[in-house]
Amino acid sequence: MTKRVALAFSGGLDTTVCVPLLEEEYGYDEVVGVTVDVGQPEPEFDEAEETAEALDLEHYVVDARDEFADLCFDSVRANAEYQGYPLGTALARPVIAKKILEVAKEQDCDALAHGCTGKGNDQLRFEAVWRASDLEVIAPVREMGLTREWEMEYAAEKELPVEGGNEGAWSIDTNLWSRSVEGDDLEDPSYVPPEDIYDWTTAPTESEGTELVEIEFDEGYPVAVDTVEETSTSSQPSAGNGEEQSAVDIIEQLNEQAGAHGIGRTDMMEDRMLGLKVRENYEHPAATVLLTAHEALEQLVLTKEERDFKQQIDHQWAEKGYQGLVDAPLMTSLDGFLDANQTKVTGTVTVKLDAGQVRPVARESDYAVYSESAASFNTETVDGIEQADATGVAKYHGFQSRLANAVAAGVEKPELAADGSGDGHELPSKDGGEDGEDK
């Protein structure tokens, strides 16, 4: 009986080396390569196709851009960031894993394989999906303890169609939502990265002009982007005209627009799931703009209690998203809360793109929890409430704290009379005289 294994295939060194290893070391007769499109650059697909052809590998390319973009927009509703940066690779991995699993079942494969090392997060994200199936899971690089040097020597010995480090000095992962750069000198936290590690973003100091961009949301989801004003002398991509756009189109448009202004760079020390602390560099222009605009709209339409409580929901959503556990039961419950909470997050936000920064400068919604007349300094009475009505609140505000401080300082504990007056020391007197001044 022919044994077949589906391999997550990129055409890079790790996955190319895995092809003969799966045959020679693991005894599989046929390897099926699967490349999933979540927005990688076109040259990466060309490389995968060329490498697969050179290896005589059965190869499938699956388009999952729409599904991935939808998940990214789910993350916007949850303001999802991990330790300060938008989730990108983390959200892409379960989408990729599901598509590979589908191909494996369609092609009657007995196992699933990936080229992840035993030090990163991706092994966990892939396998969280795959281990729910009845197929064997294989990780040659991890299980055989392979190093990059060994792989390069093995590839040369086998005359495999790879270049030593297909991304040059850096290890780069790109999808619609983010671009990550790591490895080589970047592993040294004291190393200042050169400007050429960035591809999506112009150096903020070199960006020209400013733009005002209006983003429309419907129940927390971005649905349209329109340029309101442009003062840049450089060539900018055309924006939408206010009509609803696909998630993929919105992301691609904002990656170009915001990236041209140097927006969306992160250089950080990241705590991985296995406990390792690593240096990571990210680019995420569209994600930065959309997350900023979404939070600005929430500030307008949600009550303080809703916003305070939602921070817990957002944190848990981001944690599960980072772990690649987007199908966990908890996520279903979190999404249920968001479905109810985000119905009011409908409206528009105008943001200013300028020299590496995105700032909300206007927002509008039918659900705004805001009264201009109540907030204005030019009105005296609103809905029967006058400024003087705050006097009683001001007297009681901080009372318990003042009392506690007085007791702690060894002052005789004042007694509060039935009419609210005290002994004339710590509590305000009823007539508001000198003895009633705050101490």
Residues known to be catalytic: 14, 93, 122, 171
**Does 367 appear as a known binding residue?**
no
**Does 339 appear as a known binding residue?**
no
Side chain identity at 261, as an amino acid letter? H
**Does 85 appear as a known binding residue?**
yes
**Does 125 appear as a known binding residue?**
yes
Q: Radius of gyration of the chain from Cα atoms?
A: 28
**Does 15 appear as a known binding residue?**
yes
**Does 373 appear as a known binding residue?**
no
**What burial class does residue 226 get, using C-beta atoms within 10 Å of its C-beta: 0-12 exposed, 13-18 middle, 19+ buried?**
middle
**Does 270 appear as a known binding residue?**
yes
Phi-psi label, residue 50: left if phi above 0, alpha if psi -120 to 50, beta otherwise: alpha
Orientation angle between helical segments 329-341 and 65-77, nearest 10 degrees: 70
**Does 302 appear as a known binding residue?**
no
**Does 8 appear as a known binding residue?**
yes
**Does 355 appear as a known binding residue?**
no
H/E stretch holding 105: helix 89-106
Quick one: CA torsion of 429, 432, 436, 439, rounded to 10 degrees?
140
**Does 11 appear as a known binding residue?**
yes
CA atoms within 13 A on the CB side of 421: 10
- H helices present in 343-398, as ranges: 372-375, 390-396
**Does 117 appear as a known binding residue?**
yes
Give exposure, 323-341, as e/b (b: 16+ Cβ within 10 Å): bbbbeeeebeebbebbeeb
Residues in binding site for L-citrulline: 85, 121, 125, 171, 180, 270, 282
Enumerate the known binding-site residues for ATP: 8-16, 115
Show binding-site residues for L-aspartate.
Answer: 117, 121-122
Binding residues: 8-16, 85, 115, 117, 121-122, 125, 171, 180, 270, 282
